[in-house]
Each structure stands twice: as structure tokens, then as C-alpha cells.
Chains A and B, each alone.
Chain A
């Protein structure tokens, strides 16, 4: 690391310029992807509507979070581990006090945090579930066949912030500014990759679910 004379320099860089660059790319990427979806629009439906669009659309955003029994029977592992992963990930992301401080500083929103030990436990579970999912992907013949380079990239950039966060919290790398710097840097990597990969599902799932619900609603069917 020639450009940094010490770990503090690195931390200053990741908290300053690097974060701005990552944020810049993240926002531009999200705007391009979302605007592409909306500007492309949908084919005009000439049939006479049998129901409304908005209500069922919004309801579908929520109701699709409930597992349907068919999916569960086909892929119980993915459903269970997937749920564990997402819940633990959101606990870590949204209820660790230093993260709340970051959100508060950037968006002005604040809520109470959880004790560090609980967040720590959630981190371990999230890490284990991610490893389990990678193992599942590598051992399941169909899943392995369908996996592309992007799937592994997405796994890697999601795994890294958790791992570095765990290392930084437990101060397993010396000096600490390096540990914290690596954690923030790994998040910046995630921010840069996010808009251009499947990670965009965190945003597009709302659009997709709304469209499905709205289409069904218009046809007068339960979705």
C-alpha cells in the first residue's frame, strides 16, 4: 500500500474520497437501472379491467414475503437459510449502533440499537448461513450448472463486509484503523457492485412484486 504511509491514512481515505466515489457510483447505477425499467414501460392492456391495480400491487409487495408451500417443498434449504440470512443481515445492518450513527448522519433517521452481543451473534449466524448457501450452490448439481461468475461475485462482495465487520468488532487485525478501514472498504466494494448485479433485487423486488400484484388485480385474481 504505497499510497498510504500508515493505517490511519487508509482509514481517512476510505471514510473520505473512497466513500464518495462508491456512493457516486451506487446512486448513478441505481438511477440508471430503475429509470430503464420505468421508461421501458409495459404493453398497453386493452382489456376491460375487472379490478384495481394499486391496492393489490401494494398488498403483493408484502404478501409475497410469505413462503408458499410449493416453493418450500421444492427448495426447503434455500427458503429456510435464505430467511435466516436476510433476518440476521438486517439485524446487523440496521441495529448495530455505529451503523445507526451512519444512517442518522446521512438520512437523519434514528432508532434504538441492539446490544453488541446480539448483533455479534447475528453476524455469526449470517456468516454461517452465507457459507452454507455457497456450499449448497457448489454441491447441488442443477444450481451449480446454473451458477455464473456473477453469482460468485455477488456472494463474495456480500460475504466480505460481514467477515471484515466481525474482524473489526473483535479487533482481530492490528492496528484497529486497518481493520475498520478494510471493513468500510469492503462495504464500498459492495456499493460499487450493487447496481450492476443481482444485488439490485433489494430495490427491484418492490417493482416486480407491485407489477405482478397490479396485473393480477386488474384481472380480478388473487395474487
Chain B
């Protein structure tokens, strides 16, 4: 099989120099928060790594995650690494369709049983399997069947990691995340809408280097990439601290690059690497382009209120709640007031006068 070639050999064939490869290993090592002494180990591991078999399952998704990874403007080392894993099944990309494609998946599963990686993008509908099928197989069946022989599962994108857009209220398809279904295999969540390409390949590279999954946070995300919030690493943070905020998208503050908190930036609650890794070959990222963070790598980000409402503003229909409260308050206040008045007037009417004689201790004896 094609899998015989090592990763470095196939990169060399693509014209990647030793220098370019080492630069990538250095960047990757620092990205994974490892000491510089680990660079040769990472390089060695990647050089000799056999191309792992990867089965990519696309469920209820928009293909944005795959696009994020594959439509880089120029081939990058991480792009090439992704090209040179053995992507044995990806029904969006592969030429074959239907039975032939399914056959490729089954063959990869059989050949690499217990060793292959499963990448999932998209959520899984549970309300009715008919909402999303591939070659007549429901997403749930295909997931269960494919994951059975997997070494690990990588949930790429917020839909597969947390349910994402399909799961947004009212969740018509009964969409769920991969981790809510897969309990007996390691699941690595790589959320984002879409995730940063470097993060996707970084997770793959970590697996190739160490043969294990990286350390994960409470939400199943690799800590090396999702350990810090956008807010903590944002280059606009000093403006937040100084109290300088853009109030519209084209005012003086916006032109001077002030903090976008008031315009609804969700950076403070969002854990992702956009502020450090950036997008499109480190060109820019949402906040740098003048738009607040949407919080796309967080669970339920679609249901977390308007993208353009500051994080400190309540999200419910509080005007309605306040209206009902005023009406109820006035009614109850009036009732309480009248009850008090009644108590007062009955106290007055029932008041009996006390005379000096009442205090005469010897009254009874008289």
C-alpha cells in the first residue's frame, strides 16, 4: 500500500526541504508547549512516522471545516502533512461514490483495525436517522460501525464537538455531539466554526509524535491550543484595561483599534488560539479585522445570545419580565396597602380607652 512511505519521504517528494521541515517541527514543538530539547524528538518521530490511516466522516455539517483545512492559499507544511496522511475515506473529496466509496471505508477499517483515526465533522441526528444518511446508512450507524475499530476519534469543528449549529435551539434534528455517543474510545474535540487548520494538523502531529492524545480540558479540547482565552491573548486587551472601546463599527475607536467588548466580542469567554496562531497563513484573525469574536469554539455558542450584545447584558426578554413585574407589583402593593389600612382602621375602632382606675391595683378589692 501507499502507507509504506514515511511522512518525511512523502514531504520530500512534494519539495519540502529539510530546513523547511525542521522549521515546522520547531514551530510545532513550541506550539505544543514543549521545551526546545524536544524538537529533535518531534522531528525524528514525524520523519519516521508511517502515514496513519484516517477515515473522515462528514455528518450534519457545512464542509467549512474541511475547507478550512484544504483551501489554504499556498501549500503549507501542515497542509502537506494533511495531504500525506492516508485519507482513506472522505466522501466529499473522493472520486468514488456510493458503494465504491463505502467499500474503501470498509477496506481501511479491516486493514488497520484498532489503529486508524476517525475524524468526524458534523453532528449526528437522533430525532430521525433520515435527516442525514450516506449511501443509505444513517450517521449514527456509520459512526458506531467505524468507531468500533478506531484508535481515537477527533471531533473536528463545533458541530461534531458540541452539536454546534444543528443543535441550536430548537434542535429540529435532535442533533448531538460525537462525545455524547462515543464513550469507549478517546475523543479529542477540536472545536471552532471552523477550527484553525494548524490546530487540526497540530493534533494529528501530536498523535504521530507521541502515539497518544494530548492533554484535554474539561470540554475535551487539547489544552495546548485551547488553554487560553482570546481575551487573554488579544492584542486589543490593553484598550479593554484602559477603558477604551469602539462603540460602532466605524467610529473613531474602531478606527484606532480599540477593544470590541461593547460591540459584543465574546473573547473573554472563548478559549481558542486565534489570537496567537491567526488565520490564512498568519495574515489576520476576526478581532484584527475589526469584528468581535463570536465564541465559535464554545458549546452552545449559537444559543448564547446575540453576537452583537456585550457579554454583560442579559439575553432574555427582560423588558417583558419587567412589564409583568410592574403590573403584578402594583396590584400586590395596592392589596397590601389596603390590607394595612384596614388593620389600622380596625385598630382605631377597636381601641378602648384606659383610665387611671384601670391601673388601680386594689380595684377588685373595692
- Measured CB to CB, the residues of A under 8 A from B are 5-9, 11-12, 15-17, 19-21, 23-36, 38-40, 97-99, 101-102, 105-106, 112-117, 171, 175-177, 180
Is A35 touching B333 in the complex (CB atoms < 8 A)? yes
Report chain B residues within 8 Å CB of A177: 269, 298
- Give Cα distance in the complex from A122 to B25, angstroms: 47
Is A11 touching B333 in the complex (CB atoms < 8 A)? no
In the assembled complex, the CB of A67 is this many whole angstroms from the nearest CB of chain B, namely 32
Is B337 touching A38 in the complex (CB atoms < 8 A)? yes
> Per a CB cutoff under 8 Å, which of B218, B268, B312 touches A101?
B312
Report chain A residues within 8 Å CB of B229: 171, 176
Closest to B240 in A: A116
B243, B305, B326 — which one has the most chain A CB atoms within 10 A of its CB?
A: B243
- Give Cα distance in the complex from A11 to B299, angstroms: 11
Dominant SS among interface residues on chain A? helix
Partner-contacting stretch, out of B8-16, B102-110, B134-142, B316-324: B316-324
Is B241 touching A115 in the complex (CB atoms < 8 A)? yes
Report chain A residues within 8 Å CB of B262: 97, 101
Is B300 touching A15 in the complex (CB atoms < 8 A)? no
**A-B interface, 10 closest residue pairs, ranked by CB to CB distance from nearest:** A31-B329, A39-B337, A35-B333, A27-B325, A98-B312, A20-B321, A16-B316, A19-B314, A101-B310, A28-B329
B334 CB–A CB distance under 8 Å: yes
Question: Interface size for chain B: under 10, 10 to 19, 20 to 34, or 35 or more residues?
Answer: 35 or more
B313 CB–A CB distance under 8 Å: yes
Contact with A along B227-250 (1 / 0, CB 8 A): 001011000000011110100000
Is B313 touching A101 in the complex (CB atoms < 8 A)? yes
Q: List 27 A-B contacts (CB under 8 A).
A: A11-B269, A12-B305, A12-B315, A15-B315, A16-B316, A19-B315, A20-B314, A20-B317, A27-B326, A29-B329, A31-B326, A33-B333, A36-B336, A39-B337, A39-B338, A39-B340, A97-B243, A98-B261, A98-B311, A98-B312, A117-B241, A171-B232, A175-B217, A175-B271, A176-B229, A176-B231, A180-B268
> Per a CB cutoff under 8 Å, which of A12, A30, A38, A99 touches B304?
A12
Known: A98-B312, A115-B243. 7 other contacts (CB 8 A): A12-B305, A16-B315, A28-B329, A32-B333, A39-B338, A98-B310, A116-B243
In the assembled complex, the CB of B13 is this many whole angstroms from the nearest CB of chain A, namely 43
Is A97 touching B330 in the complex (CB atoms < 8 A)? no
Closest to B169 in A: A12
B344 CB–A CB distance under 8 Å: yes
Closest to A118 in B: B243
Known: A99-B312, A171-B232. A115 touches B336 (CB 8 A): no
Known: A28-B328, A31-B329, A40-B340. A102 touches B268 (CB 8 A): no
In the assembled complex, the CB of B178 is this many whole angstroms from the nearest CB of chain A, namely 15
Closest to B180 in A: A5
B241, B301, B321, B329 — which one has the most chain A CB atoms within 10 A of its CB?
A: B329
- Give Cα distance in the complex from A127 to B6, angstroms: 61
Closest to A35 in B: B333
Known: A35-B337, A98-B261, A113-B243. A15 touches B317 (CB 8 A): no
B341 CB–A CB distance under 8 Å: yes
Is B218 touching A175 in the complex (CB atoms < 8 A)? yes
Is A8 touching B329 in the complex (CB atoms < 8 A)? no
B309 CB–A CB distance under 8 Å: yes
Is B322 touching A27 in the complex (CB atoms < 8 A)? yes
Known: A31-B330, A180-B268. A11 touches B304 (CB 8 A): yes
Known: A31-B333, A36-B336, A180-B268. A102 touches B313 (CB 8 A): yes
Report chain B residues within 8 Å CB of A15: 304-305, 313-316
- Give Cα distance in the complex from A13 to B317, angstroms: 13
Closest to A17 in B: B316
Is B321 touching A115 in the complex (CB atoms < 8 A)? no
B332 CB–A CB distance under 8 Å: yes
- Give Cα distance in the complex from A172 to B244, angstroms: 23
In the assembled complex, the CB of B40 is this many whole angstroms from the nearest CB of chain A, namely 33
Report chain A residues within 8 Å CB of B303: 12
Report chain B residues within 8 Å CB of A114: 243
Is A176 touching B268 in the complex (CB atoms < 8 A)? yes
B219 CB–A CB distance under 8 Å: yes
- Give Cα distance in the complex from A117 to B328, angstroms: 41
Report chain B residues within 8 Å CB of A25: 325
- Give Cα distance in the complex from A23 to B317, angstroms: 11
Report chain A residues within 8 Å CB of B324: 24
Report chain A residues within 8 Å CB of B241: 115-117
- Give Cα distance in the complex from A98 to B309, angstroms: 11
Report chain A residues within 8 Å CB of B261: 97-98, 101
> Per a CB cutoff under 8 Å, which of B217, B315, B322, B329 touches A32?
B329
- Give Cα distance in the complex from A6 to B217, angstroms: 12
Known: A23-B322, A32-B333, A98-B261. A8 touches B311 (CB 8 A): no
- Give Cα distance in the complex from A114 to B244, angstroms: 9
In the assembled complex, the CB of A57 is this many whole angstroms from the nearest CB of chain B, namely 21
Report chain A residues within 8 Å CB of B231: 176
Report chain B residues within 8 Å CB of A31: 325-326, 329-330, 332-333
B261, B321, B332 — which one has the most chain A CB atoms within 10 A of its CB?
A: B321
Is A16 touching B232 in the complex (CB atoms < 8 A)? no
- Give Cα distance in the complex from A19 to B314, angstroms: 7
Report chain A residues within 8 Å CB of B322: 23-24, 27
In the assembled complex, the CB of A134 is this many whole angstroms from the nearest CB of chain B, namely 28
